[in-house]
Amino acid sequence: MNRHCTLILHAHVPWVRHPETDRCLEEDWLFESIAESYLPLLEVLHRLRDEGVPWRLTLNLSPPLIGLLNDPLMRDRASAYLDRTAKLAASEAAASNDAGYRRVAQWYEERLARLQTEYESRWNRDLVGAFGSLAKSGHLEITACGATHGLLPLLVKVPEAARAQVRAGVHAYEEAFGDPPTGFWLPECAYSPAMAPLLHDAGLRWTLLEEHGLASSGQAPESTPFHPAIAGDSLAVFGRDAESSRQVWSAEHGYPGDPRYREFYRDVGLDAPPEALEDYLDGSGIRRFTGLKFFRITGDTDDKLLYDPALAARAVTEHAIHFLESRAAQLSSLESRGIAEPLVVSAFDAELFGHWWFEGPQFLEQVLRLAAKRDDFLFTTPSEYLEDTGEEARDHFEPIASSWGEGGYFETWLSEENAWIYPHLHTRAEQLLRAIAILKENIGALPEALIEHRQRTVAQMTRELMLAQSSDWAFLMRNGAARPYATQQTEKRLDCFDELWGVFGSDPDVAGKRLAEIESRTPFLPNLPWDIFGELVEAAIFIPEEPETTEDESENENVVAEEGAEENSAPEAPSESPQQADEASPDDADVESPESEDSGENEPEMVAESEPPVEEPASSVDTGEDISPTAEPEPVEASPEIEITPLESGDSEAFDLEQLAPGIEAAGDDEFSPDPELAATEEPGPDQPESEEPKPDQPEP
């Protein structure tokens, strides 16, 4: 077969585990995705396999999502969510006098009961294993992803930070699925030239970019993006096809906007009287999405018609046929232009299928079922394409820096609302490297108990820093409703890192209990190698040299450094609430604290004689009230000899792109501008349809 298509889904939810409270709005991001996307996708994919339908699909499961899906607490809460929602559907059916409304409510009740049975009995709550089974049978290719979905081009100023995200992502994949991965999903499809050697050195064979990341390269041939580019030594870089993406993703011009499909924003949680939601909301009184949406899109009117599953099913079949016919015509046209072995790559957030576009899993099933009967093109995976084709289906050139975010580059994650985070991330990455160097240098002279304590501490510092690096928080800082939560999550992780910096220099008998409490609070990547953040032995990452400075510029920099040293001499990092963060001076966010020399003056002592207690900053969860931990542990203060950069958040009036992300330049006016119909659609999952904003009571990552 000389014509090829591949479908790639990216499944991701940020680390939103809050054991300190029974109910949390942000945890619902996970439970909604389980109920509306992951369980329905597993249902249709296993049905196709069981019926002997040949199909191929590529799926990425991010490490935070894998961790949440495997976590016993989150599994219990997911089961409770399914049960709670089914009971709400039953109560809606019983309370309504409208026969049509009752039918829809009963349909939901039966659907949720079926999904809960599958979750509990068929999959034994192990959704990662259920997807892994499809990979073992050869139907599904699963890829690795960055450890916490960090935006790698903005982390590469400290090359080890970007490399650790890749290495830890590969580690998480191997723990979940056994064999090493072949493909790697770049978070936000964010690429810079430094990515190619990073991925190649991790043993990865391919990755994916937005179409303009390939097409805007001055070296791109006519076959772009329908052949992979070979970047660096051998990394295959596939390009996402804009035409097929628009057909599926765009709420205005694509399939999800059909009036027969379910209306996303008419939800029982927003429509029902408060008394009908008392049990569901558990007394909090905060309205939230429930997943029970009883109306269809209907049209541009507030007078929505009731949802009709049979009518929606007919639309699904029509759109599946149209999608396949469009791909056949597209591939035929490409072949007629002399492009050998053309490949159309259609990539989406997995949560689009089911959560945002309710009928999406059924659409996917029909596409794969009908495609199996065709002989004019073949669905494949990127790895199979590379195996089945030769040099005629490769283009050798370097893609440009790009992402699939709004604007096509990095402005979503590097803006006046969130630029303040990067100096803090970079400084702590350098501190972590110093801790690893100290331990390696002295490991032969330390007792075994102290070695174990410090290795565990370094591993936990790595987890906390990586969780702070998540691109979700930077993205959500641009959303007014979600900004306090995102700011709090970033601050909490950095504060914890700073506390662990003190734990590292303490005696295990003094700090061991506190370390265990922190580890149990964040059971993310529990088997992470302690030195995964270690020094680059063979640095293959290209970082442009700093431009030479004039004498005047050098003097100015020294003045700034001296001022920063005075400001940052406090021994511990102050914790700001999101409200305080909003009031922080914009100018403060742009000044990094000076790095200490390698003299060791500011390094942790090998064993601290005593550590006075210090209060742990209180944290809250966006549930409408302040939430404090149920048990206040005995914290350990950072050693006064350790230099810690104070955390200051807030808007930045200006920021230096070259300083925060070396080697990356924003596109000029004369450069490629991404398709405006796809702008503002590719953001952290679960994503939203085009031109739709999240409701204030339901911030979506």
- Compute the average pLDDT of residues 10-15: 98
203 and 275 both lie in a single domain: yes
- pLDDT per position as a tens digit, 614-630: 233 333 343 333 322 22
364 and 482 both lie in a single domain: no
> What's the pLDDT band for 535 if we cut at 50, 70, 90?
low
> What's the pLDDT band for 283 if we cut at 50, 70, 90?
confident
Report the C-alpha gap between 402 and 151 in whole angstroms.
11
> What's the pLDDT band for 549 if we cut at 50, 70, 90?
very low
388 and 425 both lie in a single domain: no
Task: Examine residue 490 and state whether it is found in any structural domain, yes or no.
Answer: yes
- Helix, strand, or coil (residue 6): strand
Residue 693 has pLDDT above 90, yes or no: no
Q: Determine what percent of the chain is predicted with pLDDT higher than 90.
A: 73
Report the C-alpha gap between 682 and 478 in whole angstroms.
15
**Which among 659, 677, 694 is the end of a domain?**
659
Which of 125-139, 417-431, 448-462, 671-685 shows the lowest per-residue confidence on average (mean pLDDT)? 671-685
17 and 105 both lie in a single domain: yes
Residue 199 has pLDDT above 70, yes or no: yes
Task: Examine residue 315 and state whether it is found in any structural domain, yes or no.
Answer: yes
Residue 609 has pLDDT above 70, yes or no: no
**Which among 357, 376, 408 is the end of a domain?**
408
* Two tokens, residue 385: 């394409």
Q: Are strands 343-349 and 4-11 parallel, antiparallel or unpaired?
A: parallel
Residue 295 has pLDDT above 50, yes or no: yes
Q: What is the pLDDT of residue 579?
A: 33
**Which among 408, 438, 471 is the end of a domain?**
408
403 and 511 both lie in a single domain: no
> What's the pLDDT band for 400 if we cut at 50, 70, 90?
very high
Find out whether the peptide bond into 686 is cis, omega within 30 degrees of 0: yes
Which of 38-52, 56-70, 445-459, 639-653 shows the lowest per-residue confidence on average (mean pLDDT)? 639-653
- Compute the average pLDDT of residues 302-312: 97
Task: Examine residue 690 and state whether it is found in any structural domain, yes or no.
Answer: no
C-beta separation of 641 from 618 below 8 A: no
Among candidates 695, 671, 685, which has minimal Cα distance to 212?
671
Task: Examine residue 515 and state whether it is found in any structural domain, yes or no.
Answer: yes
For the whole model, what pTM was predicted?
0.80
Task: Examine residue 184 and state whether it is found in any structural domain, yes or no.
Answer: yes
Residues 6+ apart with CB under 8 A from 693: none
Amino acid at 470: S
- Supply the CATH number for residue 343's domain: 3.20.110.10
Which of 225-234, 363-372, 552-561, 680-689 shows the lowest per-residue confidence on average (mean pLDDT)? 680-689
Question: In terms of pLDDT, which residue wins out, 520 or 657?
Answer: 520
> What's the pLDDT band for 282 if we cut at 50, 70, 90?
confident
364 and 488 both lie in a single domain: no
- Compute the average pLDDT of residues 94-110: 97
* Two tokens, residue 576: 């700001």
Q: What is the pLDDT of residue 212?
A: 96
Which of 29-43, 95-109, 271-285, 349-363 shows the lowest per-residue confidence on average (mean pLDDT)? 271-285
172 and 225 both lie in a single domain: yes
Return the number of other C-beta atoms located less than 10 Å from residue 365's C-beta: 21
Task: Examine residue 413 and state whether it is found in any structural domain, yes or no.
Answer: no
Q: Are strands 206-210 and 183-185 parallel, antiparallel or unpaired?
A: parallel
> What's the pLDDT band for 279 if we cut at 50, 70, 90?
confident
396 and 541 both lie in a single domain: no
392 and 433 both lie in a single domain: no
- Supply the CATH number for residue 635's domain: 1.20.1430.10
Question: Structural domain tally of the chain?
Answer: 2
Q: List C-alpha distances in Å: 518 to 207, 499, 521, 624.
A: 35, 10, 5, 25
Residue numbers of the domain that contains 107: 4-408
404 and 521 both lie in a single domain: no
- Compute the average pLDDT of residues 227-236: 95
> What's the pLDDT band for 284 if we cut at 50, 70, 90?
confident
Task: Examine residue 682 and state whether it is found in any structural domain, yes or no.
Answer: no
Q: Determine what percent of the chain is predicted with pLDDT higher than 70.
A: 76
Residue-averaged pLDDT of the chain:
82
351 and 478 both lie in a single domain: no
Report the C-alpha gap between 400 and 319 in whole angstroms.
34
Report the C-alpha gap between 409 and 432 in whole angstroms.
29
C-beta separation of 642 from 502 below 8 A: yes
- Compute the average pLDDT of residues 329-349: 97
454 and 315 both lie in a single domain: no
Residue 588 has pLDDT above 80, yes or no: no
C-beta separation of 435 from 604 below 8 A: yes
Report the C-alpha gap between 321 and 367 in whole angstroms.
7
Q: What is the pLDDT of residue 281?
A: 86
Task: Examine residue 672 and state whether it is found in any structural domain, yes or no.
Answer: no
